Amino acid sequence: MHSIGEMGQGSGLGISALRFYDRAGVLVPAWVDPVTGYRWYAPEQLDEARLLARLRRSSMPLADIRLVLAAWSGGETGLVPRLLDGHLRRLEQGLADARSEFSTVRALLGHRETAMTTMTTAATTDTAAATAATRLTLPGAEIAAALDAVRFAAGTDPELPVLGGIHFDIEGGDLHLVATDRYRMAVARTSTTGHAGERVQVTVPTPLVDAMRALLADGAPAHLTVDGDKVGLETQGRQVAGQSLGEGFPDYRRLTRLPEGRRLTLDVPALRRALGEQDTEVCVLVLTDGVSVGDEDSAGDRVGVNPAYLLDALAAGDELLLEYVGPKAPLVLLRPDTEDAFSLLMPVTLDA
């Protein structure tokens, strides 16, 4: 017999997923200990679990998966190819529909880019002064802390190079730093002096960001320069410079515009310990008067999260608040003493 942990390791399914499939009647343990509630699986169920994992990765609906597993275990394998072929046809039709919609979206983007290019060209002569280099002074300790607060959320997907850096948004006396990898976002603010012009935005690639952070070890004031696609930071006679990422960064202000939610105080040390014991890609946060790690049967609001991502966000400090808007909305983590730095974490659906 295999324990649920062994089944998870052997099949690639998480423990929470195996519990869900048990309750859904898709993969029911061969025996459940009536005293402890531990689930035990027969040896032949490991192959079923591996098949189930592959079918779910192909996005097959649970109703069809039930039929495939029933036919598989019952030896009636003639039904399986028909179910697979039917699902493949639906995927191909969905892909064809998506291609058609994307073609329309690209055409709309092309019209918009043409219009924007025309407007930009017409305005170039009148805005020549606005393209001068931007230079501002930053408190060394503040900019170092702000970089530390957002660096973990920078993307690493080569298919989305624009997310592979930290976005610098300079407006008035504020510098906002933003990073996102689609699944989480971190935002921090620091004060500046020396800039009174138009809003300036530039995305700095992570290798250059890391080089900047290395210069800020002693907390001395730093000077940031943005000149077209060139970005540089200088402090105490040392400087680093490089080229920014050329593509447009997502409108983070829109992405962080969320309804007001319920704020809960986190016991960060206890939460870190509980998350460190998780051996799955998804864990369940249980929200009552506080926040704890539980399972899908726990009483209270339940939200699925990536434990490694949440641990990254908890590195912001031992005193944090969690703002909960709803089961499908991003979780917001922030410090109680300031809202200048916060992070958003996308929930993971608990519906396998």
Strand, coil or helix: 186: strand
The continuous run of DSSP H or E covering 187 comes out as: strand 184-191
Dihedral of the CA atoms 163, 57, 81, 18 (nearest 10)? -170
One domain, residues 210 and 223 = yes
CATH classification of the domain holding 333: 3.10.150.10
pTM for the whole structure: 0.72
Confidence at residue 129, expressed as pLDDT on a 0 to 100 scale: 43
What torsion do the CA atoms of 174, 179, 184, 185 make, to the nearest 10 degrees? 10
Cβ atoms 279, 16 nearer than 8 A: no
Q: Do 50 and 62 sit in the same domain of this protein?
A: yes
- The pLDDT of residue 128 is above 70: no
Mark whether 192 and 279 lie in a shared domain. Answer: no
Residues 188, 211, single domain; the answer is yes
Instruction: Tell me, yes or no, whether 118 and 223 share the same domain.
Output: no
pLDDT tens digits, 160-171: 888 999 999 999
Please count the other Cβ atoms lying within 10 Å of the Cβ belonging to residue 20: 18
Nearest Cα residue to 2 out of 56, 50, 39:
39
Same domain (yes/no): 137, 246: yes
* The pLDDT value given to residue 130: 47
Residue 130 in 3-state DSSP? helix
Average pLDDT, stretch 179-199? 90
Average pLDDT value for the chain: 86
Distance CA 320, CA 297 (A): 26
* Domain edge (last residue) among 77, 108, 141: 77
Q: Residue 112 belongs to what domain range?
A: 86-123
Number of domains into which the chain is organized: 4
Which residue's structure tokens are 């970089």?
147
Instruction: Judge if 244 and 159 occupy the same domain.
Output: yes
Reply yes or no on whether the pLDDT at 146 is more than 80. Answer: yes
Q: Are residues 136 and 250 in the same domain?
A: yes
Query: Between 294 and 192, whose confidence is greater?
Result: 192
